[in-house]
Every structure is written in C-alpha cells, then in structure tokens.
Amino acid sequence: MALEDAKTQIDHAFTRPDTRGLSFENAFAGAPSFLRRRYTKDLAGVDVAVTGIPFDQAVTNRPGCRFGPRAIREASTLQPYDPPYGWDYSPLEAFSVVDYGDLAFDYAKVSSVPQAITDHVRGILAAGAAPLTLGGDHFVTLPILRAMAERHGPLALLQFDAHSDSWVDDDPDRIDHGTFVYKAVREGLIDPARSVSVGIRTTNPDTMGLTIIDAPEVHRTGPDAVARRIREVIGDAPCYLTFDIDALDPAFAPGTGTPVWGGLSSGQAALILREIAGLSLVGGDVVEVSPQYDHSGATAVAGAHVAMEILCLWGWTRRG
C-alpha cells in the first residue's frame, strides 16, 4: 500500500485530505512541512500545532538558528512513513497534528518579538491545541513559557542543554538566550523544585534551584538512572520540555551556535526521552539548530527526531 501511495502522493503540506495519518510522499520531493503535516492556520479540532520561531538575535556566539525551523522540517520528511520505533503507538494516526507555519515578526524591531511570541502561543492554546515549537535560539522559550504558565500555572521545566541558561539578568529589556531560566524562575513561570536540567557541562554557580543532572553524570550512571531521577523530581506536575540541540555532543550535533564537548550522544538522548513516558507534558520545543555549521545535515536530523519524541511524549498520556 505504501508503495502505491508513494506513486501518487505529492505536496502533502497542502494536499493531504485530513490532519491524521502517515504519509508516503517521497522524502526528496514536495513541499517540506513538519512530518508532512498540512500547513494551516485553522486549528479547529487540532491536538498539536507545530510552529516555527525563526529568531536568533539573542545569541552570544554564532548566529544562524533562524534557519533551524526550515532545516528541521526538511529533515523530518524521512519519518512519517511508519509509527516511531519503540513507542507502540502511532501519534500521527492517533492525533490531529498540523504545521501552523512560522511566527511573523519585524526583524528590525527586536524589542517587539517577545510579546509577539507570547501572543502567538496564546493563540494556539486558545484554540485548544498544544504547541510544539521549532526554534530559533533559546530565548524563545521564555515568552513561550509566559503563555504556557497563564494556561497551566507554574510549570515543571525539563531542560536538555549544555548550559544552565540561568545567568543573572535583572534587566527586563534584555533579550538573551543565556538567561531564560533565571527570568522564568523570577517571574514564577516554572517551579524550580520540580524542574530538571540534563546535560549541563558549563560552569554557572547559580542554577536557581533546579535539579542538575550534568553530562558526566549521564555518562557515568546511564540513561535509565537519569530517566528515573527526572520522573522522581517532576512527578505528576504539568511539564514543559525544552531541548537545546547543544545538549548533544558536537560529534552528533555540530550545527549549533555554542557547541561544548563531552555532551550526550543521540542514543543516550533517545533512551532518556523514551524512558520518561508518562510525564504530564503540555508542550515543548527544539532550539538552537544552526544548519549552516553542519554540512551533513545530522544536526537537523537530530532536531527532527527530538521533535517527534516530544510529540510521542505528549500523546503517551492521551492515547486511546
């Protein structure tokens, strides 16, 4: 059936007849939406809205993750032929998932971007959908969390990252991808006692009370132990998952702005994500994919797989 479908399916981003189901369109052809979902601004009856925020004007080193959403979408075209391996259910068939397109903003008015992001996510939530965001630099998580906390109250944050992003920043006008955790705690958007940062391997003495599972601990104790610790800390709290692609070692994800050696392997990340199934996930993002620093495309492929895992985690407690 798949081979027969592949002969006729094309441009599913615009032509697919519904918002559920697998796609057999040739990976190398057609308009690349995320997982070949339909592009639409109509969220009636939609469970998950995938959206891009191509903003990278808050970086401290190499820019370029404004191209991340586009690269992740293209890389994702390899995945929608089959249910994701190891999950025992098919989220693309179980749920209505669409590609909501990207946030529109004035790149020359950087100060207006945070509110634009918050309003964008508010619109998704108001329609009854959960947001799955493709970044963009890690600053974008802060205005997303503002909208999420309005809906769900203070959240447990599960952060995969090489950096704690909790550097002190009491200037409300500063837009910086390295301070979103500090501001999220200070604004009461996240509960640090129920929040975990995984993969940290840069020095910052003030972690704002989050549980830190640094990269050496992941390597020494293994993914199963890390997943158990995450579940212990977060419990049944509503959880937002943010995955900075630099949580992965540069050997697995060289296409990022602030690479740090000694990080997680893609295999470790995959095992941890699958072993935390059951968390009460309300949304998530993948950020800091800068495809121009990776001639192989491996970083975007990793980002696309992480985004699929977030979709699987969101659906796990809602399936059937």
Q: How many CB atoms lie within 10 A of CB 269?
A: 27
The DSSP H or E segment spanning 182 is: helix 180-186
Neighbouring residues of 248: CB distance < 8 A, sequence distance ≥ 6: 199, 263, 264, 265, 266, 269, 302
Task: Consult the annotation and say whether 163 binds a ligand.
Answer: yes
Quick one: DSSP state of residue 137?
S
Strands 130-135 and 97-102: unpaired
Task: Consult the annotation and say whether 244 binds a ligand.
Answer: yes
Residue 1, exposed/middle/buried by CB under 10 A (0-12, 13-18, 19+)? exposed
Task: Consult the annotation and say whether 176 binds a ligand.
Answer: no
- C-beta separation of 235 from 252 below 8 A: no
Identity of residue 129: A
Q: How many CB atoms lie within 10 A of CB 147?
A: 22
Q: 3-state class of 42 per DSSP?
A: coil
Q: Phi/psi zone of residue 93: left (φ > 0), alpha (ψ -120 to 50 degrees), beta?
A: alpha
Nearest Cα neighbor of 123 from 157, 100, 156 is: 100
Annotated binding-site members for Mn(2+): 138, 161, 163, 165, 244, 246
What residues form the annotated binding site? Answer: 138, 161, 163, 165, 244, 246
